[in-house]
């Protein structure tokens, strides 16, 4: 019987960012406040 | 939560802009795999990908909060475009060798410099050294000795004082007068000592 040289395709895991990365984004979104004064826009990070 | 799976991106974005933080969480969960997979396909380094993924959403958040959401564009392609630009920025910043392309307007030799002296400058330098030696010969012996020891033999004033058998202050004084006298000779004879 002929030998198969082709490699068995490995199952590709679903790529996801780390939990800490997602957690950081959500925390950033909660902390970030935009204040508009006239034509100026200020970003505030509220802890 | 079952409803959330069917809620269109545009509605979730409007909810997020109105202050619903969970809408953002749903959007991230919905699209994280595609966005992260795209970044990873370009940069196969998980920690860098996490950073770029974060930066992408920071830009998304800032844009949504300041400018609102333009419904003309679809959310995922827009985010992918931001991620793509950040990937390009990453490669730009990490380029180890600057890349210069030769065009008709300028040649590559315009910014390539040769640090070695040209033949003309080498001749001038040799002449300057020769002139200095000649001027030195006109100084009193004790001053000439200090100059030679300090500049040609690279000795400290302490070492000079020990060798010549005088105090450090005397050696310093001789150096001072030597420099003053050298200046006088140069001015008197209009000697140019520059290359």
CA-to-CA distance for B79 and B38, rounded, in angstroms? 11
Q: Is B12 on the interface with A (CB under 8 A)?
A: no
pLDDT of the residue at B133: 87
In chain B the domains, ranked by start, together with CATH numbers, are 9-93 (1.10.1740.10), 119-188 (1.10.10.10)
B56 contacts B34 by C-beta, under 8 angstroms: no
Q: Give A30's contacts in chain B (Cβ within 8 Å).
A: 21
Within 8 A of A19 by CB-CB distance, chain B residues are none
Using CA atoms, how far apart are residues B188 and B195, in angstroms rounded to an integer?
20
* Selected residue with higher pLDDT from A11 and B17: B17
Predicted ipTM of the assembly? 0.73
- CB distance B9 to B76 below 8 Å: yes
> Is residue B23 less than 8 Å (CB to CB) from chain A?
no
The distance of B89 to chain A (nearest Cα, Å) reads 20
Between chain A and chain B, the number of residue pairs with CB atoms below 8 A apart is 49
Taking CB atoms and an 8 Å limit, are A26 and B25 in contact across chains?
A: yes
- Write out residues in chain B with pLDDT < 70, as ranges: 1-5, 69, 71-73, 96-102, 106, 108, 111-113, 195
CB B90 within 8 A of CB B52: yes
Rounded (10°) CA dihedral B189, B190, B193, B195:
-140
* Beta carbons of B57 and A25 less than 8 Å apart: yes
Cβ atoms B10, B75 nearer than 8 A: yes
Question: What's the pLDDT score for residue B1?
Answer: 47
Two tokens at B98? 């600057």
CA-wise closest residue to B76 among B138, B9, B123, B125: B9
**pTM strictly above 0.95:** no
């Amino acid at each position: 019987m002929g030998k198969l040289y082709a490699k068995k395709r490995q199952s590709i895991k679903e790529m996801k960012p780390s939990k800490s990365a997602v957690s950081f984004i959500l925390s950033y979104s909660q902390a970030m406040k935009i204040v508009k004064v006239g034509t100026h826009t200020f970003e505030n990070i509220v802890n | 939560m079952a409803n959330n799976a069917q809620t269109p991106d545009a509605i979730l974005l409007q909810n997020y802009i109105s202050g619903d933080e969970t809408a953002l969480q749903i959007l991230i969960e919905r699209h994280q795999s595609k966005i992260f997979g795209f970044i990873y396909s370009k940069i196969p380094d998980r920690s860098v990908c996490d950073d770029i993924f974060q930066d992408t959403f920071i830009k998304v958040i800032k844009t949504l909060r300041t400018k609102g959401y333009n419904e003309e564009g679809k959310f995922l392609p827009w985010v992918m475009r931001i991620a793509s630009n950040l990937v390009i920025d990453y490669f730009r910043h990490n380029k180890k060798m600057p890349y210069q392309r030769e065009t008709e307007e300028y040649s590559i030799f315009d910014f390539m410099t040769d640090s070695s002296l040209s033949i003309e400058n080498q001749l001038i330098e040799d002449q300057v050294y020769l002139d200095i030696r000649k001027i030195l010969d006109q100084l009193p012996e004790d001053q000439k000795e200090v100059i030679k020891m300090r500049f040609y033999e690279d000795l400290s004033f302490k070492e000079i004082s020990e060798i010549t058998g005088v105090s450090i202050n005397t050696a310093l004084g001789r150096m001072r007068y030597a420099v003053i006298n050298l200046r006088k000779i140069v001015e008197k004879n209009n000697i140019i000592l520059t290359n």
